[in-house]
């Protein structure tokens, strides 16, 4: 759903559940984040999330793997460890069952790669295929990553390049190049597991993952929750192969337009950025990376450790006083 429509739908639900009545609900509707978190005891918190979507690539196995990685990412964005997953499936009756088997195999192998177990699920017949997961994970209540932990002076670090929205739209329009599709699929299927483990190892406190609301949409949620302003450097932001080419041809999904309409009043752009460059930052992503806030005294060690474990990182900005987002 578009950000504005989703906000309207969720607003009345928050009045039904007073956070004071649920003291063990550490993260929920009252403090929106990437997943719900419920404290079990002093040392354990349960993380629960779900995500599913229609096909974005042509290969069934790749589609399943990407959808699973996307759902698992919400647990990683909270600093958690996935424990188990359930399939969520909608599939047309007139398509061969072998296609669905490959979709689910892709998802199952990605769950196994995450160190979790696939424990069941639910399926329905639907004219349009959809696939995803319910994921349950855990974390220590004092070691959670949330959108509200960024502090002035922190550096903003991104763990995957952007551009999956324009590339998957190009696939649907038949204008994507083979090498662009392969590179984008590899990035989208890549788990955020290692990035999350590094964040917990270095005692970071603030993170979110970049998905449907785009880079600026999710960054804005993080800035608002932390009561700070984010400053990003456009030339430091990494792009998937083909993203800038397709953006110049205005190959954007409808979700990117919705993101721009909702979040652009809170964003200040430098005059040097043309419209397609601005629009890329609103591009609706699938299974994107984590955006992390790293204290400056830990940055060098954090980058060195990431390099040692083959985790890509890009320093794309910093946290400053104020509100909103600026792109320089």
The predicted pLDDT at position 20 comes to: 82
Mean pLDDT calculated for residue range 27-55: 92
Q: Please, is 95 exposed, middle or buried when counting C-beta atoms within 10 Å of its C-beta (0-12, 13-18, 19+)?
A: exposed
In a shared domain, residues 139 and 165: no
> What percent of the chain is modeled with pLDDT above 70?
99
Kindly state whether residue 291 falls inside one of the protein's structural domains: yes
Kindly state whether residue 137 falls inside one of the protein's structural domains: yes
Listed range (1-5, 18-22, 31-35, 191-195) with the worst mean pLDDT: 1-5
In a shared domain, residues 201 and 116: no
Separation between Cα atoms, residue 234 and residue 229, nearest integer Å: 16
- Strand bridging mode 314-320 / 155-158: antiparallel
Q: Average pLDDT over the chain, rounded to whole?
A: 95
Q: Kindly report the CATH number assigned to the domain that includes residue 241.
A: 3.90.650.10
Asked if residue 13 has pLDDT above 90, the reply is no
Asked if residue 14 has pLDDT above 80, the reply is no
- Domain range for 120: 33-143
Mean pLDDT calculated for residue range 62-66: 98
Q: What is the pLDDT of residues 270-323, one digit of tens each?
A: 888 999 999 999 999 999 999 999 999 999 999 999 999 999 999 999 999 999
**At 195, is the pLDDT very low, low, confident or very high (cuts 50, 70, 90)?**
very high
In a shared domain, residues 132 and 208: no
In a shared domain, residues 170 and 226: yes
Kindly state whether residue 15 falls inside one of the protein's structural domains: no
Determine the 3-state secondary structure of 88 from DSSP.
strand
Number of domains in the chain: 2
Mean pLDDT calculated for residue range 3-22: 77
């Amino acid at each position: 759903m578009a950000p504005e429509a989703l906000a309207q739908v969720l607003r009345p639900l928050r009045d039904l559940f007073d956070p004071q009545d649920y003291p063990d609900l550490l993260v929920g509707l009252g403090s929106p984040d990437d997943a719900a978190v419920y404290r079990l005891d002093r040392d354990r918190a349960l993380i629960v999330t779900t995500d599913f979507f229609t096909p974005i690539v042509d290969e069934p196995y790749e589609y399943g793997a990407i959808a699973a990685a996307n759902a698992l990412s919400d647990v990683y964005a909270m600093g958690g460890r996935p424990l188990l997953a359930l399939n969520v499936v909608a599939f047309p009756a007139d398509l061969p069952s072998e296609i669905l088997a490959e979709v689910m195999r892709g998802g199952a192998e990605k769950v196994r790669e995450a160190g979790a177990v696939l424990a069941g699920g639910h399926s329905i017949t639907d004219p349009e295929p959809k696939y995803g997961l319910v994921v349950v994970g855990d974390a220590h209540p004092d070691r959670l990553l949330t959108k509200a932990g960024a502090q002035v002076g922190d550096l903003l670090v991104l763990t995957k390049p952007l551009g999956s929205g324009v590339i998957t739209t190009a696939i649907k329009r038949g204008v994507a190049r083979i090498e662009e599709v392969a590179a984008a699929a590899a990035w989208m299927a890549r788990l955020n597991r290692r990035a999350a483990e590094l964040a917990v190892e270095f005692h970071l406190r603030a993170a979110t993952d970049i998905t449907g609301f785009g880079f600026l949409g999710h960054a804005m949620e993080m800035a608002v929750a932390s009561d700070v302003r984010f400053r990003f450097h456009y030339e430091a932001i990494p792009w998937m192969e083909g993203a800038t080419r397709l953006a110049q041809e205005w190959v954007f999904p409808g979700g990117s337009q919705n993101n721009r309409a909702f979040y652009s009043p809170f964003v200040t752009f430098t005059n040097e950025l043309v419209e397609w460059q601005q629009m890329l930052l609103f591009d609706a992503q699938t299974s994107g990376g984590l955006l992390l806030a790293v204290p400056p005294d830990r940055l060098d060690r954090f980058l060195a450790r990431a390099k040692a474990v083959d985790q890509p990182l890009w320093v794309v900005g910093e946290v400053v006083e104020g509100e909103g987002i600026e792109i320089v």
